[in-house]
Amino acid sequence: MYRYAWCVPSASNVYPDISLFDHSRVTAALAVCLYEHPKWARERLPGISPERLRQLEDTEPFLLVKGEISGIQSYIYRIVRTGTGGIAKRLRGRSFYLQMFNHQVARLLLHRLGLTLAHLIYCGGGSFLMVLPNTEPVRDQLQQLVEEVEDYLWAHHLGELKFRLADKPLSPKAVFLGLSEALQDLELRLTQVRYRHFKALFRENRAVEREKPWESIRPCPSCRIQVVESGAELCETCETQQQRIGARLPRTGGAIFSADTLPTGPPEIGVDWKKLGKTRLADVEALYAAYGPETMESVTFNRPDRIPKTSLLFVANVVPKNESSREITVPTERDDEENPEGIVQRHQTFSFSTIAAWSEGDARLGILRMDADRMGAIIAQGLDHHGLMSFSRMATLSRQLQVFFEGWLRNICEDYTVQEWRPKVREERILCDYADAIQSIFYVVYSGGDDLFIIGPWSEILPLALRIRDDYRRFTCENPDMTLSAGVIVCKPKFPIPAMARLSGEAEDRSKVRGRNRITAFGTTVPWESTDGEWGLRELLGLAEQWTRWIRDDKVPRRFFHELLRLQAQAVSDDAVVRGMWIPRLIYRIHRNIPDEAIAAELHHILLGRPNSLALLRVVRVPASIALLKTRS
Ligand SMILES: [Zn+2]
């Protein structure tokens, strides 16, 4: 049904914006809730009398449930660069592990309640929202689930990751008229839960159990939280993320979520969530074969066309890997401690040093963080403002966002690689003699809900950000409220991951503080496109291109742009003595350093002669830094 009805409107007489698929599944879920409720169970709905309906309208047959894993970002990015296994492999594995955990918990809850996925309004970005029957057994099961999830998180992550869950009973009246308030109240309840994490563990005094003798305790070099078994390099959790998921993920076609807790025989690829069941990674062909009575769902990743009998799950598992059938020898791989031969096997992920080397000019990484502006307000107020709030509309909106951030993002990365990056290799602006073996030069660390974190060659990261933003504009039909804010940093490939995450996060925050719908790069915040008096990223990238060409063609010396940056710092500084002095100095530099008169005149015009020249000076760090980095050999 997803496949055929996702884009068919459920009603075309009012706002045709809800998909028939979402509308139908939400309606089915609401009907089940009524059917399960003691007061509603025996009512014959089509023939119900208006008086009886009034009697029932204040009963609460629905239970709105939100579950959330917190601490995700700090957990993913706190990964430590250690000699074992390759950080590029583990980072993606860690992010995927959390994504699967969220899916597993949501599915397990429904499985235990004997309910279908129709009740799952959304699931992504580390949280899920459901509408369940408001009955005693359901509430008991929620309680049990929270305790089991906390047990798992405590045993494997010692409280670094937390799970919280809140519920809110709803009347039929509230479903139609008070859904926004109910959702806000649910969020409030969720924040109150925050202070009661691991309650059961502490109550039963199980939190401090440790069976191992002290002398055998050695902390895991990757997470620095868990204890490593003797003889092992990493703790069990890191090992799972690294070997079983990270290494396998690039060639996995799908996954099977199951509720079975039996110990597994032969080594399987996936995660054993202990009491919470298992998630197995499988090739598409193996999905059927592995289907058992405890199977909750089997999903195909990213291929709506592949197998009609499994569900579809969009997973942004985009990493630069060797897609050819031969092994590739790459000198930069040797920088990586664990790959002294520098050989990248088929399906293997390239290291960050190699990704950096795919840049134009200086070999550096670009780190992009991006997120949708005001998404909470759009859901809570935007939909409600027009009296349009409904479960199915919300389900459609969040599923569509998922299609973009978890599905379409892959196309953007791959398309960029083919359309923009490979031609640069052909023109020898970038040196890489195996470009055809790479489908994506970008490493998507995380993309879910409404935000993303991508690592790529520095020279390609800003054009990629612009492309994501352009596609998002088109995807949202140019809705002026649906915008993206981004932050970019450029760093060496050996830069610690936690610092990458923090600095790019701070850059993103600056974009938000300065009015959102912006990008911050090279410490400078600019809008995506030029407006009156402000230079946008698109135009600045155009300038950077022109300046790079001038340097390459020996028309303008590099030192001119160094000088320009120095003068810019003077111009924007508060020192009253030098204020204004930059103008004659700049004019002097232009005509002194640039022998080609036509180019000198053009540069003079761009930097000083146009109405928006002063505005350019404020953001000139962006094109000048790009031109300088691209021409550094
Ligand atoms: Zn560990």
Query: Is the Cβ–Cβ distance between 51 and 209 less than 8 Å?
Result: no
> What backbone phi and psi angles, to 5 degrees, belong to 231?
90, -15
Element housing 174 (H / E): helix 172-177
What's the mean pLDDT in 70-94? 75
Q: Could you tell me the distance, in angstroms and rounded to a whole number, from the CA of residue 276 to the centre of ligand 1?
A: 20
What's the mean pLDDT in 549-556? 95
Residue 457 CB burial class (10 angstroms; 0-12, 13-18, ≥19): buried
Number of alpha carbons in the 13 Å side-chain half-sphere of residue 248: 21
The answer on 573 and 432 residing in a single domain is no
Contacts of 420 (CB under 8 A, 6+ apart): 460, 463
What's the mean pLDDT in 66-87? 77
- Which DSSP string do the residues of 371-385 spell out, in sequence order? EETTHHHIIIIIHHH
User: How confident is the prediction for the chain on average, in pLDDT?
Assistant: 87
Of 108, 51, 54, 98, the closest CA to residue 73 belongs to 98
On the question of pLDDT at 225 being above 70, the answer is: yes
The answer on 589 and 444 residing in a single domain is no
The answer on 519 and 571 residing in a single domain is no
What's the mean pLDDT in 22-31? 94
Q: Which amino acid is at 469?
A: R
Q: Which residue has the higher pLDDT, 261 or 118?
A: 118
Query: How many Å separate Cα 500 from the centre of its chain?
Result: 15
Spatial distance between the Cα atoms of 40 and 126, rounded to a whole number of angstroms: 34
Spatial distance between the Cα atoms of 437 and 425, rounded to a whole number of angstroms: 13
E-only strand ranges, 201-332:
254-258, 270-272, 278-282, 295-301, 311-313, 328-329
On the question of pLDDT at 577 being above 60, the answer is: no
The answer on 144 and 126 residing in a single domain is yes
Q: Is the dihedral of CA 455, 457, 458, 463 positive or negative?
A: negative
**The residue count for the chain:** 633
Residue 255 lies in a domain: no
DSSP state of 43: -
Q: Could you tell me the distance, in angstroms and rounded to a whole number, from the CA of residue 238 to the centre of ligand 1?
A: 4
Q: Could you tell me the distance, in angstroms and rounded to a whole number, from the CA of residue 88 to the centre of ligand 1?
A: 16
Q: Could you tell me the distance, in angstroms and rounded to a whole number, from the CA of residue 77 to the centre of ligand 1?
A: 13
Query: Is the Cβ–Cβ distance between 239 and 156 less than 8 Å?
Result: no
- Counting residues of the chain whose pLDDT is more than 70, the rounded percentage is 91
Q: Could you tell me the distance, in angstroms and rounded to a whole number, from the CA of residue 162 to the centre of ligand 1?
A: 17
Spatial distance between the Cα atoms of 101 and 592, rounded to a whole number of angstroms: 63
First to last CA, the chain: 55
Q: Could you tell me the distance, in angstroms and rounded to a whole number, from the CA of residue 223 to the centre of ligand 1?
A: 4
The answer on 122 and 82 residing in a single domain is yes
Give the pLDDT confidence score for residue 206 in this predicted structure: 65
On the question of pLDDT at 79 being above 90, the answer is: no
The answer on 551 and 523 residing in a single domain is no
Q: Could you tell me the distance, in angstroms and rounded to a whole number, from the CA of residue 234 to the centre of ligand 1?
A: 5
Q: Could you tell me the distance, in angstroms and rounded to a whole number, from the CA of residue 85 to the centre of ligand 1?
A: 12
CATH number of the domain enclosing 6: 3.30.70
Query: Is the Cβ–Cβ distance between 280 and 258 less than 8 Å?
Result: yes
Dmax (CA) for the chain in angstroms is 91
On the question of pLDDT at 306 being above 70, the answer is: no
Q: Could you tell me the distance, in angstroms and rounded to a whole number, from the CA of residue 75 to the centre of ligand 1?
A: 11
The tokens of 1 are what? 């049904």
Q: Could you tell me the distance, in angstroms and rounded to a whole number, from the CA of residue 282 to the centre of ligand 1?
A: 24
> What backbone phi and psi angles, to 5 degrees, belong to 165?
-145, 135
Confidence band, pLDDT 50/70/90 cuts, at residue 81: low
Q: Could you tell me the distance, in angstroms and rounded to a whole number, from the CA of residue 239 to the centre of ligand 1?
A: 7
Residue 350 CB burial class (10 angstroms; 0-12, 13-18, ≥19): buried
On the question of pLDDT at 379 being above 80, the answer is: no
On the question of pLDDT at 265 being above 60, the answer is: no
Give the pLDDT confidence score for residue 207 in this predicted structure: 61
Residue 241 lies in a domain: no
Q: Could you tell me the distance, in angstroms and rounded to a whole number, from the CA of residue 128 to the centre of ligand 1?
A: 26
Residue 219 lies in a domain: no
Q: Which amino acid is at 111?
A: H
Last residue of a domain, one of 140, 169, 203: 203
Domain that holds residue 385: 316-528
pLDDT tens, position by position, 327-376: 999 888 876 666 778 888 888 889 899 999 999 999 999 999 999 998 87
E-only strand ranges, 478-517:
484-491
Q: Could you tell me the distance, in angstroms and rounded to a whole number, from the CA of residue 503 to the centre of ligand 1?
A: 24
Among 285-299, 315-329, 551-565, the minimum mean pLDDT is found in: 285-299
Of 262, 32, 447, 350, the closest CA to residue 342 belongs to 350
On the question of pLDDT at 514 being above 80, the answer is: yes
Q: Could you tell me the distance, in angstroms and rounded to a whole number, from the CA of residue 233 to the centre of ligand 1?
A: 9
- Pairing mode, strands 254-258 and 295-301: antiparallel
The residue whose two tokens read 């706190």 is 78
Query: Is the Cβ–Cβ distance between 344 and 447 less than 8 Å?
Result: no
The answer on 550 and 522 residing in a single domain is no
Q: Could you tell me the distance, in angstroms and rounded to a whole number, from the CA of residue 277 to the centre of ligand 1?
A: 21
The answer on 607 and 496 residing in a single domain is no
Last residue of a domain, one of 203, 225, 257: 203
The tokens of 311 are what? 């569900």
What's the mean pLDDT in 616-625? 94
CATH number of the domain enclosing 325: 3.30.70.270
Q: Could you tell me the distance, in angstroms and rounded to a whole number, from the CA of residue 90 to the centre of ligand 1?
A: 11
Q: Could you tell me the distance, in angstroms and rounded to a whole number, from the CA of residue 241 to the centre of ligand 1?
A: 9
Label each residue of 395-419 as H, E or C: HHHHHHHHHHHHHHHHHHHHHHHHH
Q: Could you tell me the distance, in angstroms and rounded to a whole number, from the CA of residue 300 to the centre of ligand 1?
A: 29
The answer on 483 and 560 residing in a single domain is no
The tokens of 39 are what? 């007061």
Q: Could you tell me the distance, in angstroms and rounded to a whole number, from the CA of residue 235 to the centre of ligand 1?
A: 4
Give the pLDDT confidence score for residue 210 in this predicted structure: 56
Give the pLDDT confidence score for residue 101 in this predicted structure: 94
Last residue of a domain, one of 512, 528, 544: 528
Residue 227 lies in a domain: no
The answer on 192 and 117 residing in a single domain is yes
Q: Could you tell me the distance, in angstroms and rounded to a whole number, from the CA of residue 148 to the centre of ligand 1?
A: 21
Element housing 111 (H / E): helix 87-113
Q: Which amino acid is at 43?
A: E
Q: What is residue 386's three-state secondary structure?
A: coil
Q: Could you tell me the distance, in angstroms and rounded to a whole number, from the CA of residue 236 to the centre of ligand 1?
A: 7
Residue 293 lies in a domain: no
pLDDT tens, position by position, 90-145: 788 888 889 999 999 999 999 999 999 999 999 988 899 999 999 999 999 999 99
Query: Is the Cβ–Cβ distance between 185 and 168 less than 8 Å?
Result: yes
Give the pLDDT confidence score for residue 216 in this predicted structure: 63
Q: How many domains does the chain have?
A: 3
On the question of pLDDT at 266 being above 70, the answer is: no
The residue whose two tokens read 């719908």 is 517
* Integer CA distances (angstroms), 157 to 98, 163, 215, 465, 528, in order: 12, 12, 21, 33, 40
Q: Could you tell me the distance, in angstroms and rounded to a whole number, from the CA of residue 258 to the centre of ligand 1?
A: 25
On the question of pLDDT at 230 being above 80, the answer is: no
Spatial distance between the Cα atoms of 391 and 394, rounded to a whole number of angstroms: 5
Residue 39 lies in a domain: yes
Q: Could you tell me the distance, in angstroms and rounded to a whole number, from the CA of residue 349 to the centre of ligand 1?
A: 21
- Pairing mode, strands 295-301 and 311-313: parallel
Q: Could you tell me the distance, in angstroms and rounded to a whole number, from the CA of residue 86 to the centre of ligand 1?
A: 14
The answer on 542 and 413 residing in a single domain is no
Residue 296 lies in a domain: no
Confidence band, pLDDT 50/70/90 cuts, at residue 242: low
pLDDT tens, position by position, 168-220: 999 988 888 888 889 889 999 998 887 677 777 777 766 665 555 556 677 88
Q: Could you tell me the distance, in angstroms and rounded to a whole number, from the CA of residue 219 to the centre of ligand 1?
A: 8
Element housing 443 (H / E): strand 443-448
What's the mean pLDDT in 16-25? 91
Give the pLDDT confidence score for residue 337 in this predicted structure: 62
Q: Could you tell me the distance, in angstroms and rounded to a whole number, from the CA of residue 228 to the centre of ligand 1?
A: 7
Give the pLDDT confidence score for residue 74 in this predicted structure: 81
Q: Could you tell me the distance, in angstroms and rounded to a whole number, from the CA of residue 212 to the centre of ligand 1?
A: 16
Of 45, 94, 103, the closest CA to residue 247 belongs to 94
pLDDT tens, position by position, 521-538: 999 999 999 988 899 999
On the question of pLDDT at 398 being above 60, the answer is: yes
The answer on 499 and 455 residing in a single domain is yes
Contacts of 418 (CB under 8 A, 6+ apart): none
Q: Is 559 left (phi over 0), alpha (psi -120 to 50) or beta?
A: alpha
Q: Could you tell me the distance, in angstroms and rounded to a whole number, from the CA of residue 242 to the centre of ligand 1?
A: 10
Confidence band, pLDDT 50/70/90 cuts, at residue 548: very high
Spatial distance between the Cα atoms of 258 and 382, rounded to a whole number of angstroms: 37
Residue 347 lies in a domain: yes
Of 248, 232, 322, the closest CA to residue 92 belongs to 248
Contacts of 549 (CB under 8 A, 6+ apart): none
The tokens of 625 are what? 């830094």
Beta partners for 451? 371, 448
